[in-house]
Amino acid sequence: MLLKDEVEMLRRVPLFSGVAPAKLKLLAFTSDRVSYKAGQTLFRQGDPADAAYVILTGAADILSDTPSGEIKVAEIEHDSIVGEIAILCDVSRTATVRANSALEALRISKDHFLKLLSDYPEMTIEIMRVLADRLSHTTTELSEARSKQKQAAK
Amino acid sequence: MEKSLGRYIWSNTRLQQIWILCVVAVSMIPYFLSFDLPKQIVNGPIQGMGFDAPGATQTFMRIQYDIPYIGNVVFFNGLELTRFQMLMALSLVFLLLVIINGLFKLYINTYKGRLGERMLRRIRFELIDRVLRFPPGQFKRVKSAEIATMIKDEVEPMGGFTGDAFVQPALLGGQALTALVFIIMQNFWLGMIAAAIVAIQGVVIPRMRKRLLELGRQRQLTARELSGRVGEIVDGIGTIHGNDTSNFERADIAARLGLIFSIRYDLYQWKFLVKFINNFLAQVTPFLFYSIGGFLALQGRLDIGQLVAVINAYKDLPGPLKELIDWDQARQDVQVKYAQVVEQFNVERLVDPRIQALMPEAVSRLEHSLQAVNLTLSDDSGAPLLRHVSLEINPSETVAIVGSGGSGAEYLAEAFARLIWPEQGRITIDGKDILELPESVTGRRIGYAASDTYFFHGTLRDNLLYGLKHAPLTKVEYEGKSAAQYKWNINEARRAGNPELDLNSDWVDYASAGVTGPDDLFKVVRPVLDAVLISQDILDMALRSTVNTAAHADLTDRIVELRQALRKRLKKEDLDDLVVPFKLNAYNAQATVGENLLFGSMKRPMMTNRKLAAHPYFRAVLRENDLLIDLYTMGLEIAENAVELFQDLPPDHPFFQQLTFMTADDIPLYQQLLQKLKGHGIEAASSDERTSIIRLSFSYIEPRHRFGLLNDKLMAKIVDARERFHNDLPDDLKAVIERYDPEQFIASASLMDNVLFGRIGFTQADSSERVNTILRDIFDRLDLFESVLSIGMDFDVGSGGKRLTNVQRQKLNVARALLKRADYVIFNRPMPALDQRVQDQITHNIMENLHEEGHAPAIIWVLSNTALANLFDRVIVFDKGTLVEDGTHATLLKKNGIFKELVS
């Protein structure tokens, strides 16, 4: 897969959709292309966060360690970014991500990602928009869950 | 040391001095004869004295002496020669005398030179010997650079002076006296004039030179201080940068240089003034000779021949005289320097030479307890560090010493290591003070490691085994030339009072490390390296380094086996694509275009990319098949991509790290090139510009850069060019390029490259770590791990071990103390640079695993983590310089004392 194809794929990721192609090309060039086999781990819960991953092809499970063992929280597919939260707020990984099929990803290191954000404010705004969107989504889910809980308690 | 240099020289070189004096005395005979000859030549054959009648002859070389009791004996009847024959004969005798005098001079000077060099060697050795015997406290007061200057520079003139010490006054005095006596014999009054001027010179000049001596002494001191300061700047460069004090240092140095300049300038002024007066006095004499002697000659009271001889003889008087005065100056100067140096090296409480005596035999184990009796230690200002401590540590006992920093625990450890000498009380083993025990006992049977490590410039192996090098243990057999050289070396060493120890011998005491020789050394080294958690570092060093194939044939001979084992293993774990192997007839996508083209390794620094690119053969290979144009086009596209990607970024942007084939400074350059060359063919580019463009293509790796510039056809072309390149490789390139051969070890490539024989797949996740783990395992399985460690041991640690990290140095320092297999091992907070977790791990390893096989030393460990005290048989607690608690871990915990406080 060539740089220009990667740029095309990056444009399909909502986070980057508003960013100029030339900048996406730079982002792609300065990132590492990494391939994983099914079952290989991208990162583990509790590890220090050093990079975000854009899934180019394939899919991965997001897993969370609980006292009762590992449970699958979600699945991500191509054209999505994973691990960006941890590098933004400097916390360790909150979940384990494991490829469930052969997977190709673009590994954007933390320094490069942050540098891009400070260089291109339009990217920062885009990220803010996506995050705010997610937050409102989560808040809605939470309130729904709470109201369900209340109803169940009655 | 002897205070007077004269006596020091005399006592060490008496016989040689007497011999050379005798030679000088003998040399006086031809010297004197050569004075008389000119007079004979001028008066005899030239002026015709005794050749009054034409055809008259004179006797030449008639040798006869009046010997008492026997009467007149004629040894040689002589030859009857005419005036012309006589002139020739006498001239030839003159020539002969010149040669004889010259040969004497040659012999005397060589002999003196050798004498001086031996003396210099002796003094230098003696001074360093003293440094080795200084009491530890002395090193707090002296700067290493100053000591080095004293030994290297300040004693240097003493060597030169030694040869002259007695000979010079005898020789020059003799010469001057001869000349003077000769002049007096020719004419008494002319002689007296010369003598009077000599007397004036002899009195006035040395007086004037007194000041020169004082200035010389100041020059010496200021120069020594300067080198001390330079040493401080080098050692403290981090502190200087960290505090922005470089200008303060500049000011200090400038002030010192100014002072040195003023002293030296003063010195020159005086020196040339003295020279002027000296020269003037010397030149006044001929003036008197010409005027007074000429007057006498005119009056007929002096014949011309006599006057010529006097003037001729006088020519030889000022020379020796001046040198004699110079000699006296040098004598005083050197005496002052010597006294200065000796003063610095005459230190009280010097270690007795017997304590450091060479001991090639094994030293028996210490089977008695180590006792501190009423031990009091204090620092340089006299403040107490430790007060009245008495304790006893038994063989094989493990003791944890705990206490906060400054509690005295660390000083007790230093006292055990003899780094601090007791103020009162003593430390004994079997009733003997450890300061009086020979170092062959204390240095071998007691091990010590603290946080301040020191590593000597050399390999890791040299440094790790340093604690085992006590005496030359093998006798090296020399043959032929080297045997003669060795004999000569030993003789010279003996003559200069140096020891006759052979550095080429194997000094490593394998037996005391518990092995039989260098071959099974790793049997004991590896567990120690594992215990201090440094084997992985050494393995990495080995993998990154090129291997000396002669020294490590055990591994390099099995390289094929290693490569196969790696392939098999990768296949088995389904990791085939982790490493892409080099194949002669296939393009390796994970390697650069340049690597693919070369398919070999260059012997640097004889061969570099630049040199190869300029080589006509290489160029010819590229030109065939139009490969050159392909690569040029490719380079142009790379440049275009790079410029497009990076032109807007500031030059210090971190993204430039990713740009492997150019630097930020190159971007504008390539921008210009592109404007000029884009759309035109390769012909538009000059030779230099072509190189700049094609160079880019060499660094290109498709999976990494992903510009889409390589297709199957081009790859096939490159593989084809590779074959042609190697087929007719000229000899000059063959010598510096090693072709990749799956059956051979590549000496100029790193061990890693050799084992992989390919490139790690760039896109594989965690590829390097996974390869490292697999390699480690394979080395272990093939029994090659120790060979690899041995290669890592060749790593050059740099000056003071600075090429190692602080963490590595502290780990190795502990390893070094353990390798000695001492009976008492003392660790004085040895690893503060390490994480607490790693420190704990290493402590556990050493205390629990390392001494299982029987050798059980007493371990005295000043702990930084009190929680580890439960690993030890006994715990001793210090507080404020006194011993406060002593007992087992359990009893101390029960006591509710300071220890419990420290643990919680």
Judging contacts by C-beta atoms under 8 Å, the chain A residues touching residue B646 are: 26
Q: Per the CB < 8 Å rule, is A22 touching B653?
A: no
Chain A interface includes B763 (CB < 8 A): yes
Asked if pLDDT for residue B316 goes beyond 90, the answer is no
Judging contacts by C-beta atoms under 8 Å, the chain B residues touching residue A40 are: 765
- Which of B574, B654, B658 is closest, CB to CB, to A29? B658
Q: Per the CB < 8 Å rule, is A2 touching B646?
A: no
pLDDT at A59: 92
Domain of A136?
A: 3-153
Q: Residue A67: which CATH number?
A: 2.60.120.10
Rg over CA atoms, chain A: 17
Judging contacts by C-beta atoms under 8 Å, the chain A residues touching residue B655 are: 26, 30, 112, 115
3 state SS of B893: helix
- Amino acid at the residue B187: N
Which residues of B, range 723-752, sit inside 8 Å of A by Cβ?
Answer: none
d(CA B447, CA B438): 15
pLDDT at A130: 78
Chain B interface includes A44 (CB < 8 A): no
Chain B interface includes A39 (CB < 8 A): no
CATH architecture of B5-345: Up-down Bundle (1.20)
Chain A interface includes B573 (CB < 8 A): no
Task: Pick the range with the lowest mean pLDDT from B193-207, B444-458, B550-564.
Answer: B193-207
Low-confidence ranges of chain A (pLDDT < 70): 1
How many domains are contained in chain A? 1
Which residues of B, range 628-657, sit inside 8 Å of A by Cβ?
Answer: 641, 644-646, 649, 653-655
- Which of B706, B762, B765 is closest, CB to CB, to A3? B706
Q: What is the pLDDT of residues B438-475, one digit of tens each?
A: 999 999 999 999 998 999 999 999 999 999 999 998 88
Q: Per the CB < 8 Å rule, is A35 touching B653?
A: no
Rg over CA atoms, chain B: 40
Judging contacts by C-beta atoms under 8 Å, the chain B residues touching residue A28 are: 706
Largest CA-CA distance found in chain B, in angstroms, rounded:
130
DSSP state string for B700-721: --HHHH------HHHHHHHHHH
Q: Give me the mean pLDDT over the B276-286 stretch.
A: 82
Asked if pLDDT for residue B135 goes beyond 70, the answer is yes
Chain A interface includes B431 (CB < 8 A): no
- Which of A2, A35, A115 is closest, CB to CB, to B765? A35
What are the backbone angles phi and psi of residue B892, rounded to the nearest 5°?
A: -65, -35
Residue B700, min C-alpha distance to chain A (Å): 13
pLDDT bin (cut points 50, 70, 90) of residue B609 is confident
Residue B703, min C-alpha distance to chain A (Å): 8
Q: Per the CB < 8 Å rule, is A112 touching B655?
A: yes
d(CA B172, CA B379): 56
More confident: B34 or B478:
B478
Task: Pick the range with the lowest mean pLDDT from A11-15, B239-243, B348-352, B589-593.
Answer: A11-15
Q: Give me the mean pLDDT over the B716-743 stretch.
A: 89
- Which of A1, A26, A33 is closest, CB to CB, to B645? A26
Asked if pLDDT for residue B301 goes beyond 90, the answer is no
Q: Give the residue from B342, B323, B325 showing the smallest Cα distance to B5.
A: B342
Give the best residue of B652, B655, B770 to mutate against chain A (max A CB count within 10 A).
B655
pLDDT at B646: 86
- Segment of B57-66, B75-84, B149-158, B847-856 carrying the highest mean pLDDT: B149-158
pLDDT at A98: 92
Q: Give the residue from B872, B896, B560, B489 showing the smallest Cα distance to B743.
A: B560
For helices B785-792 and B535-544, what crossing angle results, to 10°? 80
Q: How many CB pairs under 8 A join A and B?
A: 50
- Which of B646, B654, B763 is closest, CB to CB, to A111? B654
Residue-averaged pLDDT of chain B = 87
Helices (H), B427-499: 439-445, 460-464, 480-495
- Residue intervals of chain B classified under CATH 3.40.50.300 are 370-471+798-903
Q: What is the CATH number of domain B370-471+798-903?
A: 3.40.50.300
Q: Give me the mean pLDDT over the B881-891 stretch.
A: 90
pLDDT at B464: 92
3 state SS of B36: helix
- Which of A3, A35, A40 is closest, CB to CB, to B763? A35
Which residues of B, range 680-719, sit inside 8 Å of A by Cβ?
Answer: 703-708
Helices (H), B236-388: 237-243, 246-288, 294-298, 304-315, 318-345
Asked if residues B201 and B176 have their Cβ atoms less than 8 Å apart, the reply is no
pLDDT at B799: 85
| ipTM topping 0.85 | no
pLDDT bin (cut points 50, 70, 90) of residue B792 is very high
Q: Give the residue from B551, B531, B555, B553 showing the smallest Cα distance to B543.
A: B555
Task: Pick the range with the lowest mean pLDDT from B4-13, B26-35, B539-548, B745-754.
Answer: B26-35
Q: Give me the mean pLDDT over the B319-329 stretch.
A: 81
Helices (H), A59-120: 84-89, 110-119
Q: Which chain A residue's Cα is nearest to B574?
A: A37
pLDDT at B489: 92
Asked if pLDDT for residue B590 goes beyond 80, the answer is yes
